[in-house]
Amino acid sequence: MRGKIALEEAFSLSRFREFEEWWASMFAVDAKKHCDEMFDLFEKRLAYMDKYGVGYQIFSYTAPGVQDLWKPDEAAAMAKEVNDFIGKQIQGREDRFGSFAALSMHNPAEAAAELERCVKQYGFLGALVNDTQRSSEDGNQRIFYDQPEWDVFWSKCEELNVPFYLHPRHPTGAQYEQVYKDRKYTIGPPVSFANDVSVHILGMVTNGVFDRHPKLQVIIGHLGEHIVADLWRINHWLEDVKKPLGLKSQEVKTIRQYFRDNIWITTSGNFSGPLLELCMREVGADRILFSVDYPFESFEDACNWFDQTELNLIDRAKIGRDNAKRLFGLKTF
């Protein structure tokens, strides 16, 4: 399929090029290639996009990034640096590129103000945040956005009519020490990313964020961060056990209805035909969006899989492009 839209596509500021060892620690194979791709904005990306039929992509700032800075001033300064950099880079290239805002999530009102600045000044299409914000004096605490003080931020997303992408982050601080230090190969895509984002998004559902913000649209990647595979069990326990215990959100909607009205999933980094089929049955083709997860994954793998996986033409167009056009109000593409 030509003209696909991809929306979990990372870049890094060139001043972090010095952290090449981090890439080597992440990828034993082709670390330099992954690293070069992360710092290239247009040349390599456009070549891949043209070769594999991606018409438009949305940039987002990579993890590790702003969410790993536990000092609020440093996090806010980095978010602004990232946003001004990529905002200027995409100017004049709006036919092929858009961007999500990076945000410091230490302070809900300040996060809302930076999002608004990016949307109005640069035409950004929403925000992508790397899960919880690392915080406190020693960096050991984590801020979740499912508490009432974040209502001011979610109201701003609704007012601006832009989605929020909840992307994973690497475990750090006390969480790393207690859970992951002695099981390091489980970190990242094998399981830590999906676990952390699942708890966070289900925290938003069960703490009533979507009930107070019914227009809010949140995107999660990797074909639903394990939630879709467990949807029956999650629904069963929320409905039959937690609701009688006082769970209010379940009185408003079932978990399936939040997926219908508020939550989107992307194919980023999860190129599984059987899982996509399950997602189509459980949440429906209207809420699924194509993505690559570049440069952690390749355009070649994502696009060859998507173009060949069994889908009718209407669903392929929806997932590959039309849903994203609708969600982001893309007119130029």
Residues that bind ligand GRE (CB under 6 A): 10, 26, 62-63, 188-189, 269, 293, 296
Secondary structure (3-state) at 11: strand
Amino acid at 94: E
CB of 137: closest distance to ligand GRE in angstroms?
26
Q: Which two structure tokens, joined as six digits, stand for 119?
A: 């949307």
> What is the number of the residue whose Cβ is closest to ligand GRE?
296
Q: DSSP for 187-254?
A: TTTTTHHHHHHHHHHHHHHHTTHHHH-TT--EEE-GGGTTTGGGHHHHHHHIIIIITTTT-SHHHH--
Question: In this complex, which beta carbon is closest to ligand GRE, that of residue 10 or of residue 119?
Answer: 10
Using CA atoms, how far residue 240 sits from 33, 323, 324, in Å, is 50, 33, 35
Question: In this complex, which beta carbon is closest to ligand GRE, that of residue 282 or of residue 293?
Answer: 293
Question: In this complex, which beta carbon is closest to ligand GRE, that of residue 45 or of residue 316?
Answer: 45
CB of 172: closest distance to ligand GRE in angstroms?
12
CB of 106: closest distance to ligand GRE in angstroms?
20
CB of 60: closest distance to ligand GRE in angstroms?
9
Spatial distance between the Cα atoms of 74 and 66, rounded to a whole number of angstroms:
8
Torsion sign (Cα): 45, 51, 52, 53: positive
Residues serving a catalytic function are 293
CB of 291: closest distance to ligand GRE in angstroms?
10
Residue with tokens 């215990």: 245
Spatial distance between the Cα atoms of 290 and 78, rounded to a whole number of angstroms:
29
Residue 158 and residue 213 in contact, taking contact as beta carbons nearer than 8 Å: yes
Residue with tokens 């299409």: 125
Question: In this complex, which beta carbon is closest to ligand GRE, that of residue 189 or of residue 208?
Answer: 189
Residue with tokens 């946003």: 83
